[in-house]
Amino acid sequence: MIDYLLVKHVHVTCVVLSGAGFALRGAWMLTDSPLIRHRLTRIVPHIVDTLLLGSAITLVVLAGWYPTTHAWVAAKIVALVVYIVLGTVALKRGRTRAVRIVALAGALATFAYIVSVAIARNPLPFG
């Protein structure tokens, strides 16, 4: 049997690693650091984010909290897509520095929203 608390620990550990890693890459973007193109910078986030999503899906299945019946789970999925899109604009696709900075702020705010939804199990921001 898969232990719920163990998977939750994996999920929360990946949340911390993913958030800290994204903030670090954001800082490297702001300072034009070449580290943002380092091989590890490109590989590690994929591993962490795959584990983050895998543990999320495992938790949802184990707990039986499906997005169709639990609005906060649906809110997390939608916000995750927003976070990924804004994150890509901030670190890669944004054509000007201003666009990248606005996208970075939006991505960090979205990340904070997702954490608040997780803790309160409520789709309302910081509810």
Closer residue to ligand HEM in complex, CB, 33/53:
53
Among positions 97, 119, 124, 125, the unique one binding ligand HEM when judged by CB under 6 A: 119
- 15 near ligand HEM, judged by CB under 6 A: yes
Give the residue among 9, 4, 46, 10 at the shortest CA–CA distance from 25. 46
Q: Does 25 bind ligand HEM (CB under 6 A)?
A: no
Distance CA 6, CA 26 (A): 30
Stretch that binds ligand HEM, among 25-33, 35-43, 56-64, 95-103 (CB under 6 A): 56-64
**DSSP helix/strand/coil, 70:** coil
Site for ligand HEM in 66-95 (CB under 6 A): 73, 76-77, 80, 83
Which of 80, 79, 101 is closest to 26 using CA atoms?
101
Residue 117: name the closest of 58, 61, 56, 64 by CA: 56
36 binds ligand HEM (CB under 6 A): no
Name which position in 20, 27, 35, 65 contacts ligand HEM (CB under 6 A): 65
CA distance 50 to 113: 20
Sign of CA dihedral 99, 113, 23, 56: negative
Closer by beta carbon to ligand HEM, 20 or else 119: 119
Residues that bind ligand HEM (CB under 6 A): 8, 11-12, 15, 56-57, 59-60, 63, 65, 73, 76-77, 80, 83, 111, 114-115, 118-119
